[in-house]
Structure 1
């Protein structure tokens, strides 16, 4: 059974997509915050190595899996997904489309870059995933490769953070400034 969009003022996303949106938002913001925090701690800090890094890794994998589910739901609910509000300027529609696509792309790429970073780190003890024994490390331990993947993972995470900030600023602009018709896009995700 497919979910039907709500009619009326500002069509809403299907319930499954709204739930997934807020779950992904919480997880991604948590990962970004923990990534910023743990990279500022000393490497020999026991909390960093035994708690923060393993949890960052497994929740990163979860975000990657949820991004795949998100793509599946977008494909499944294609016709039920609201289009851009009619009152938006062409540049706003273009920017919104670009930022949404970048967020989707970066939620796939950032964890993928974290995996080879962890796999190539000489002191890594694997990539855990909750109750499973872990994801096998396919890359050889190599400090030079680690440095490259660490840099790529970091810049990808910063790019994701920038896109999220643009997404939030756009939603707040439409919520607080644009009073015409369906421009309040936040209602679509509530």
Structure 2
């Protein structure tokens, strides 16, 4: 076994999980920034007109990558590093909750975006790279669109807050512990 698999508290995550983690981080933060830019702008805005279809297709990609992430976590579960024992109980609970919420929101937020686009009466569909459009399975209903739009927005804000908490925890342990047991950043680099 490689260094990534030294047992339940291995030194590093497997390379495939590390690559997937950073790819998802870049995509999710890019989608949130893109969504913030598009909010309140007319789809006739030249930049927003380019961003809308790309936001949709990359959102679907993030959802698919979240499924791959779950499958990989399940596959590697026995050898993945666990939370350091040196963490205080509240830190362990907060870390566990934030990670679970990030996973749930990376599944839920794109689904709500899809539901939003799928239910809009005047929707131009949901493109996905080489497919012309993802099938829209929801009935057209502008009232449902408004609900999905609000839920998509609030889930994106909650996801951003969880990511900020995740980063803040990593930085706190990196700077405060200076390489101690709770410094988990090297496991994901």
CA contact (8 A) 2:84 2:182 kept: yes
| Structure 1 residue matching 2:85: 3-state secondary structure | coil
Matched, 1:19 2:8: no
Q: Which whole-Å deviations, capped at 9, do the CAs of 1:73-95 have from their partners, x for residues lacking one?
A: 00010011101112110110110
Counterpart of 2:95? 96
Task: Please identify runs of 4+ aligned residues in structure 1 that moved more than 6 A.
Answer: none
Q: Which whole-Å deviations, capped at 9, do the CAs of 1:30-87 have from their partners, x for residues lacking one?
A: 00000000113233323323x1110000000000000000000000100111011121
| Structure 2 residue matching 1:87: 3-state secondary structure | coil
Normalising by structure 1, what TM-score? 0.93
* Distance in 2 between residues matched to 1:10 and 1:170, nearest whole Å: 20
CA contact (8 A) 2:119 2:142 kept: yes
Counterpart of 1:145? 144
Counterpart of 1:131? 130
Counterpart of 1:31? 31
Counterpart of 1:54? 53
RMSD across aligned positions (CA) = 1.9
Q: Answer with 143-152 or 9-18: which moved more.
A: 9-18
Q: Which whole-Å deviations, capped at 9, do the CAs of 1:1-43 have from their partners, x for residues lacking one?
A: x866255x97111111000000000000000000000113233
Q: Count residues in correspondence.
A: 188
Shift of 1:149: 0.4
Normalising by structure 2, what TM-score? 0.93
Which consecutive unaligned segments of at least 5 residues does structure 1 have?
none
CA 1:3–1:151 in 2, change beyond 3 Å: closer, same or farther? farther
* Distance in 2 between residues matched to 1:57 and 1:109, nearest whole Å: 14
**Structure ranking higher on relative contact order (CA contacts 8 Å, 6+ apart):** 1
Shift of 1:182: 1.9
Which consecutive unaligned segments of at least 5 residues does structure 2 have?
none
Counterpart of 1:183? 182
